[in-house]
Amino acid sequence: MTDGRLPRRGLLTTAGLAASGALLGGCGAASRLLVGDPARQFTLTPKSTFDESLPDVFWQLLIEMPIAATALDSVRIALQSDPFEIQYYSGVAWAARAPAMVQTLLVESFENSNRIVAVGRESIGLRANYVLKTELREFQAEYPDTDSVGTASPTVRVRLNAKLVRVPERTIIGSRNFEDLAEAGAPTIAAVVTAFDEALGSVMGGTVEWTLQMGEADWVARQVGGGG
């Protein structure tokens, strides 16, 4: 597949993996997929442009690892041609599990906004004022039917649910879904990854802006009310 196209024989279903023994299940599958050649690894980019009217905030934020269904909590790049079945592109992988990659990109996106005093992963032990909890609900390329896989250009769908939590009270002060679709420009893995980057970038941009605005409104209200 030197031209980067994705013929149907280059796809593996979850059931097919188990039946053929091509890859071991669970963590073993991820490990073997990333050893040596056969997998090409891809990563995505953080958001770097934001609305100039965003507030400068002086509270600190922790970003938890997004939760995701088992089918998406993987290094494998997911696709769907049927609403009831998840498949994966063969011979390619994300450079990290999808939730871990999204967490890293969210941290970098907040940093790129230059609007927040401190942001980091929950695991670093930052003493924060708010925690951003997210769920990665959609993160796949979608085809209209099975016959079009590998020959048609798919649509990438990314959907993230975000909840902003005030600590130490653990009070949810806001919740919102962010979703975007991006058309791949060609039936190639490079075009598919570019579409993932576009859709995720839009979702992260909306998440960053909403979080800063929601958190700042709550922060100011608490200072005025003597709750800070």
Boundaries of every domain in the chain? 8-224
154: tokens are 């798919």
Q: What angle do CA 192, 16, 10 make, to 5 degrees?
A: 35
pLDDT single digits (tens) 66-118: 999 999 999 999 999 999 999 999 999 999 999 999 999 999 999 999 999 99
Out of 3.40.50.10610, 3.30.70.1450, 3.40.190.10, 3.30.70.360, select the CATH number for domain 8-224: 3.40.50.10610
Q: 24 in the Ramachandran plot: left (φ > 0), alpha (ψ -120 to 50) or beta?
A: beta
Please, which pLDDT band fits residue 37 given cuts at 50, 70 and 90? low
Residue 159 vs residues 23, 133, 138, 197: alpha-carbon distances, Å: 28, 14, 5, 13
Tell me the mean pLDDT in the region 172-192.
97
Please, which pLDDT band fits residue 6 given cuts at 50, 70 and 90? low
**Percentage helix, strand, coil for the chain under 3-state DSSP, each rounded to 5:** 35, 30, 35
pLDDT mean across residues, the chain: 86
Q: Which segment, 7-11, 35-39, 47-51, is predicted with the most confidence on average?
A: 47-51
In a 3-state reduction of DSSP, which class is residue 91?
coil
pLDDT single digits (tens) 117-151: 999 987 766 789 999 999 999 999 999 999 999 89
In a 3-state reduction of DSSP, which class is residue 12?
strand
Instruction: Give the pLDDT score at 32.
Output: 40
Burial class (CB in 10 A: 0-12, 13-18, 19+), 170: exposed
Instruction: Give the pLDDT score at 228.
Output: 58
Peptide bond before 168: cis, by omega within 30 degrees of 0?
A: yes
